[in-house]
Structure 1
Amino acid sequence: MFPPVLFILFLQLTVPASSLDFLFNSFTDTSAAANITLTNDARIQPPVIRLTNDSNQFSLGRAFYPSRIPFKPSNSTNVTTSFSTQFVFSVLPDIATSPGFGLAFVLSNTTSPPNALAGQYFGLFSSSTTSSPAPLLAIEFDTGRNPEFNDPDSNHVGIDLNNIESVITQTAGYYNATGTGNSANFTFVPLDMRNGQNIHAWIEFNGPENEINVTIAPAGMARPARVMLSYRNPVIANYCGTEMFVGFSASKTQWVEAQRVLAWSFSDVGVSRNINTTGLPVFRLENSGSSSLSPGAIAGIAVGCVVAFLIVVCLVYWFWWKKRKEMEEEDKIEEWEMEYWPHRYSYEELSVATKRFSNEELLGSGGFGKVYKATLANNLEVAVKCVNHDSKQGLREFMAEISSMGRLQHKNLVQMRGWCRKGNELMLVYDYMPNSSLNKWIFDKPKSLVNWEARKEFWPMWPRD
């Protein structure tokens, strides 16, 4: 592997007869269109190159520099050309879980490799078992896993020699250095190439040494000091023709995956010039809710969230106010009630008096409901009988019945003191009887039966159910 300084000197000492050096920081002006050859569905979509067409089910596209580069003399088996290139690309699926494809940097003796297929073949290769008939070398940035190609994962970089099955692969990522010099430590950081982020790639091709070095990092980050993928093998010369095109290729099937080239720098006379990554666009999912948002859209979403929050607060307050109003209406003594008797108690007053209708204050229960002992604010002890009010019966008519019961006066009947209504539940308030009711001492199998003399005494009791 050549260190960067030695690689620069090596390029300067091996300058081909016809040198090439160019830099596209974007693909906006007309000079970019004049200096890029596009095939099939590839097109310039300022400020980027789009390699495939979303509308076509099976789409492939290629973008090449229009001039061939001499790689080795005629009838020679030795590659004499070396080059340095760097570019920024973005791969973005329409659906994150759909199959991935990616793109490839290509060295080819033709801009239209014969029998090339779309889908996982990058628009370069004909099948997984047949080598391409033309000299073809590709560095694939693969965002899908195809087990039949021995792909290690769905996010890797590989080197392909006339065949879709890579001779070497490496999970996409970069080495983060801590420390300096010989004491530097390198930690591998995985890099997702399929989330739309801009990826900066560097490739050094050393022809005489038959070596290819690949490095990637997020755009805007300094180039990592350590190469991610290195391949050195004399067989590389077998896949280079006397003259080769350099460029990019990509393909897809029915699943939309936008493959974009945002900038490109190339040189066969030295290290390629650095790309200005500060002004490059950043893409997000276009059709499934993850598109890049303008400041106006963000402000609109923020305002919408605030308005929705205020609406929810207003609705909560309205329901609370309505409920409270209903409770106040239930506790409010209306004018027509004044003609009846007895006294009407508020629900809150009886709730406090019975300790929130706790079981500790429960005196008894039956088919009619439950009876609780209550202590009013004036320390008067009463009994509260809760009964289920038939909602079909008019309240005024029911009050008339309660009024009649309240006027009953008898020494053996418990005096009714008042009432309360909450929804369909009615509470009747009576005098409290510490000795319980008479029927308990006569009919409920008491331990000692009350004799007739005691029964003749004035014994307050509850009205029978």
Structure 2
Amino acid sequence: MTCGLFQILMISFFHLIELSSQQETRFVYETFRGQENLYLDGSATVLPSGLLQLTNALHHQMAHVFYKESIGLSSSRQLSFSTHFVCALVPQPGVEGGHGMAFVVSPSMDFSHAESTRYLGIFNVSKNGSPSSHVLAVELDTIWNPDFEDIDHNHVGIDVNSPLSVGIASASYYSDIKGKNESINLLSGNPLQVWVDYEGNMLNVSMAPCEVQKPSRPLLSQHINLSDIFPNRRLFVGFSAATGTAISYHYILSWSFSTSRGSLQRLDISRLPEVPHPRSEHKNLSPLFIVLLGFLAIMGFCTLTGMYFFRRSKYAEVTEAWEEEFGAHRFSYKSLYKATKGLTRMDFLEEEVLEKSTEEISFQTEK
């Protein structure tokens, strides 16, 4: 009797432990200012506006942000989770944008072994594709890499232990109004919504612009067993981003997560912080504009030159032959022109003729 009671108590005790490990994990970040339960490394930082900035315009950076509390996998039931986040990938003007960012699920927050550039700060060459990597990532990739069988330079991929995606699609969303997929430019610099839902060994990824509600059809659906990827049954969730010679600013504007899909808290899209956009230091002038400036400069030079020679010829001194012999004193035409307020030699001749005509008329009248 006593032994049976002890067994019942022990079973109840372990059952309570299992239930506690299954306790729902839920959080939401409308702003990242003053949050202490986030782990940041690399170039990741929280801006005064509350934006979570992963990378800036420097080369070969890595950034990681994780929720500090781990999530436990129950042995009796499969893990399910849902997350909704708003991000922005902003290119540096005049520079090729890249390499992208990813939502990451990992048993560890230590990514000191990872590499930047095309590995997104998650993977490396030595463990590329190795089961020991134990990483699940949903990447927003803005670089076309044929080594990883990328389909283009603007795609979304599901990665398991490798940057070689097990599921991949060009960035787009299903428009319920138009009944078809509409493309999305990841490097537009505009805020983008992303949803990742995992339930019943099925991972669904959806995305849409901020003005659009969650689409009824996901962009990607992939069968994945997280228990095979994470045998230690503990995991962390967060983000990673990297740059190389191609650089971009990567931002997280808000983030909601829950291990219960039905209790995922909605994000207030109307209160998102403003995404900063860098300005170009030097704007590239078009060839047509350069030719036009050159033409205007030549025309201006010709006009000024013409005016100079016109004024020079207007006031030019004409020396007659007899003046050279006798060296007669004379006034310059310019001096006379100023003294007579613009009267010319023809004006004097006209006045002389007029005076003679007047005298002749007077003489005839007297007769």
* TM-score normalized with structure 2 length: 0.68
Relative contact order, higher structure (CA 8 A, sep 6+): 2
Matched, 1:198 2:207: no
Equivalent residue runs for 1:174-213 within 5 Å? 174-178=173-177, 186-206=179-199, 209-213=200-204
Instruction: Name which one, 1 or 2, has greater alpha-carbon Rg.
Output: 1
Cα 1:280–1:67 change in 2 (3 A) is: same
Distance (whole Å) between structure 1 residues aligned to residue 348 and residue 20 of structure 2: 115
Distance (whole Å) between structure 2 residues aligned to residue 71 and residue 192 of structure 1: 36
Q: CA deviation at 1:243?
A: 0.7
Equivalent residue runs for 1:55-134 within 5 Å? 55=58, 57-73=59-75, 80-95=78-93, 97-113=95-111, 115-127=113-125, 129-131=128-130, 133-134=132-133
Q: 2:278 aligns with which of 247, 266, 286?
A: 286
Cα 1:132–1:63 change in 2 (3 A) is: farther
Q: CA deviation at 1:96?
A: 5.2
* Letter matched to residue 45 of structure 2: R
* Letter matched to residue 155 of structure 1: N
CA contact (8 A) 1:138 1:160 kept: yes
Cα 1:289–1:201 change in 2 (3 A) is: farther
Equivalent residue runs for 1:11-30 within 5 Å? 17-28=22-33, 30=34
Q: CA deviation at 1:132?
A: 6.1
Once the two structures are superposed, what CA deviation does each residue of 1:90-145 show, in whole Å capped at 9, x if it has no partner?
Answer: 11121455152110000000001352101111111012844262321001111111
Map of 2:228 onto structure 1: 238
* Letter matched to residue 68 of structure 1: S
Map of 1:252 onto structure 2: 243
Q: 1:41 aligns with which of 15, 40, 43?
A: 43
Map of 1:272 onto structure 2: 264
Deviating 4+ runs (over 4 angstroms): none
* Letter matched to residue 23 of structure 2: S
Distance (whole Å) between structure 2 residues aligned to residue 72 and residue 268 of structure 1: 12
Distance (whole Å) between structure 2 residues aligned to residue 289 and residue 63 of structure 1: 31
Identity of aligned residues (%): 28
Q: CA deviation at 1:274?
A: 1.1
Number of aligned positions between the proteins: 281
CA contact (8 A) 2:98 2:247 kept: no
Cα 1:70–1:282 change in 2 (3 A) is: same
Cα 1:167–1:260 change in 2 (3 A) is: same
Q: Helix, strand or coil for the counterpart of 1:194?
A: helix
CA contact (8 A) 1:195 1:284 kept: no
* Letter matched to residue 83 of structure 2: T
* Letter matched to residue 188 of structure 1: N
Q: CA deviation at 1:52?
A: 2.4
Q: Helix, strand or coil for the counterpart of 2:235?
A: strand
* Letter matched to residue 66 of structure 1: K
Once the two structures are superposed, what CA deviation does each residue of 1:255-305 show, in whole Å capped at 9, x if it has no partner?
Answer: 331111110001113341111122323435414269xxxxxxxxxxxxxxx
Distance (whole Å) between structure 2 residues aligned to residue 246 and residue 278 of structure 1: 25
Structure 1 unaligned residues grouped into runs of 5+: 1-13, 179-184, 291-311, 342-465
Distance (whole Å) between structure 1 residues aligned to residue 112 and residue 74 of structure 2: 23
* Letter matched to residue 104 of structure 1: A
* Letter matched to residue 175 of structure 1: Y
Distance (whole Å) between structure 2 residues aligned to residue 80 and residue 102 of structure 1: 30
Map of 1:337 onto structure 2: 346
Q: CA deviation at 1:81?
A: 1.4
Distance (whole Å) between structure 1 residues aligned to residue 227 and residue 205 of structure 2: 18
Q: CA deviation at 1:186?
A: 1.8
Q: Helix, strand or coil for the counterpart of 1:139?
A: strand
Cα 1:113–1:134 change in 2 (3 A) is: farther
Q: Helix, strand or coil for the counterpart of 1:189?
A: strand
Distance (whole Å) between structure 1 residues aligned to residue 132 and residue 41 of structure 2: 19
Q: CA deviation at 1:25?
A: 0.8
Cα 1:284–1:113 change in 2 (3 A) is: closer
Cα 1:69–1:285 change in 2 (3 A) is: same
Cα 1:102–1:340 change in 2 (3 A) is: same
Distance (whole Å) between structure 2 residues aligned to residue 152 and residue 263 of structure 1: 29
CA contact (8 A) 1:91 1:195 kept: yes
Structure 2 unaligned residues grouped into runs of 5+: 1-18, 283-295, 315-341, 351-367
Map of 2:319 onto structure 1: none
Distance (whole Å) between structure 2 residues aligned to residue 25 and residue 205 of structure 1: 22
Distance (whole Å) between structure 1 residues aligned to residue 26 and residue 273 of structure 2: 24
Q: Helix, strand or coil for the counterpart of 1:51?
A: strand
* TM-score normalized with structure 1 length: 0.55
CA contact (8 A) 2:94 2:280 kept: no
Distance (whole Å) between structure 1 residues aligned to residue 173 and residue 20 of structure 2: 30
Distance (whole Å) between structure 2 residues aligned to residue 72 and residue 96 of structure 1: 50
Distance (whole Å) between structure 2 residues aligned to residue 112 and residue 79 of structure 1: 27
Q: CA deviation at 1:218?
A: 0.9
* Letter matched to residue 257 of structure 2: F
